[in-house]
Structure 1
Amino acid sequence: MAFHEIRFPASLSFGSVGGPERRTEIVALTNGYEERRTPWAHSRRRYDAGLGLRSLDDVAALIAFFEARAGQMHGFRWKDWADYKSCIPSAEVTFQDQEIGIGDGMQREFALCKAYASGVGRYRRPVVKPVEGTVRAGVGHVEKREGVDFEVDTATGIITFAAPPEADAVVTAGFEFDVPVRFDADRIAVSVASFQAGELPQVPVVEVRP
């Protein structure tokens, strides 16, 4: 996949509309019951970048970014202002926000993830685009130091420890993260008159699988 490790201007994504999408196949049975299943293990995010535009300068920045990505050709990072931390939005990131694995004395690499829980339901979302400088990690309730005890690949979301966590030790992490996306159209239609009248262009953006 062609991917540019650059974030869509956060000032433009602020105010956009979007969120997770699921695909559910529903079969209605003759007895009135339903069978439901999903072919997707993970949800997919969709956004409209047009709703964050506030001036013609914003439009110019959007067009420049669109052209530099060659439309749908190259993916990029997107800040989802409603969901960009390992903790709740009002809290500060800590190294104990998310459990990402259990040590076995041999494994050194662990993938970042974020858990979503409600009642008996629980979903673990892979996090593949952490924000540089925001990742904190710990082993057995003791915080480790980035650059000394562990390294982070911000292009894949993999943490590599200098020494493998001991057996049965809980490995945790906290972080900010972006969503890997691409434009979902190969054209942007903007009318200056319409924009000044309050009509915003539709600029669909869709999450890409890592």
Structure 2
Amino acid sequence: MAFHEVRFPEDISRRARGGPERRTQVVTLASGEEERNASWANSRRRYDVAYGIRRADDLAIVVAFFEARNGRLYGFRFKDWADYKSCAPSQAPSAIDQQIGTGDAVTRAFQLVKLYASGAQSWSRTITKPVAGTVRVAVDGVEQAGGWSVDVTTGLVSFDTAPAEGAVITAGFEFDVPVRFDTDTLDVTLDFERLGSITSIPLLEIRR
């Protein structure tokens, strides 16, 4: 996957619009009843960052970022200010936020995940772009100061020694969303004061 490990400008992404998208097939029967089937097992996020452009300088920054990514060719990191932590938005990540695995005395690598739960239902989201310096890890509730490392390009946590059988592995972190531009064209409009604007700059989450 062609990807640049750079983050879209945070001050512009803070004002972006967007969020998760699901794909569901809905068939209405002759009786008026419905049949619904999920086409996607996982959600995919869409954003529009045009709302974050307030000044001509913002526009110049976005255009430069777009050109450096060659339009839709290269992916990049995006901070979704509505959902970028392993914990609640008002809290700081802790080492026991999310369970990422259970030890079996053999496995040394565990994928970062974030669980979304409501009632009896839940969905586990794979986290592939943790933010460097924010990841914390615990084994059976005890935070580990060392003996492990994390690949911030894949979200894989690796232990020097495999955790013991039955040990609960947890982690806390901040993360970015891997996205790409969903257009190869930026339609820039200049008003009489030479201030620029763009109607829409869509971004689309990259899924493997």
Q: Same fold (TM over 0.5)?
A: yes
Number of aligned residue pairs: 208
Counterpart residue type for residue 46 of structure 1: R
Q: Tell me, what secondary structure is at the counterpart of 1:191? A: strand
Hey, what's the Cα distance between the residues in 1 that align with 2:86 and 2:155? 13
The Cα of 1:31 is off from its aligned counterpart by 3.5
Hey, what's the Cα distance between the residues in 1 that align with 2:22 and 2:82? 18
Aligned Cα root-mean-square deviation (Å): 1.6
Counterpart residue type for residue 35 of structure 1: E
Q: After superposition, where does 1:94-173 map in structure 2 within 5 Å?
A: 94-145=94-145, 148-173=146-171
Q: How high is the TM-score relative to the length of structure 1?
A: 0.95
- Cα deviation digits, residues 61-118 of structure 1 (max 9, x gap): 0000000000000000000000000001100110000011111111000000000111
Q: Tell me, what secondary structure is at the counterpart of 1:12? A: helix
Change in 2 beyond 3 A, CA 1:129/1:195: farther
Q: Tell me, what secondary structure is at the counterpart of 1:70? A: coil
Identity %: 52
Hey, what's the Cα distance between the residues in 1 that align with 2:196 and 2:8? 22
Counterpart residue type for residue 87 of structure 2: C
Q: Which residue in the other structure is 1:188 paired with? A: 186
Hey, what's the Cα distance between the residues in 1 that align with 2:192 and 2:9? 23
Q: After superposition, where does 1:11-30 map in structure 2 within 5 Å?
A: 11-30=11-30
Q: Tell me, what secondary structure is at the counterpart of 1:26? A: strand
Hey, what's the Cα distance between the residues in 2 that align with 1:29 and 1:195? 56
Counterpart residue type for residue 94 of structure 1: S
The Cα of 1:26 is off from its aligned counterpart by 1.2
1:178 aligns with 2:205: no
Q: Which runs of 5+ in 2 are unaligned?
A: none
Hey, what's the Cα distance between the residues in 1 that align with 2:177 and 2:134? 15
Q: Which residue in the other structure is 2:77 paired with? A: 77
Hey, what's the Cα distance between the residues in 1 that align with 2:85 and 2:11? 17
Hey, what's the Cα distance between the residues in 2 that align with 1:73 and 1:138? 38
Change in 2 beyond 3 A, CA 1:195/1:108: farther
Hey, what's the Cα distance between the residues in 1 that align with 2:118 and 2:164? 31
Q: How high is the TM-score relative to the length of structure 2?
A: 0.96
The Cα of 1:120 is off from its aligned counterpart by 1.6
Q: Which runs of 5+ in 1 are unaligned?
A: none
Deviates more, 1:200-209 or 1:41-50: 200-209
Q: Tell me, what secondary structure is at the counterpart of 2:191? A: helix
The Cα of 1:203 is off from its aligned counterpart by 0.3
Change in 2 beyond 3 A, CA 1:198/1:70: closer
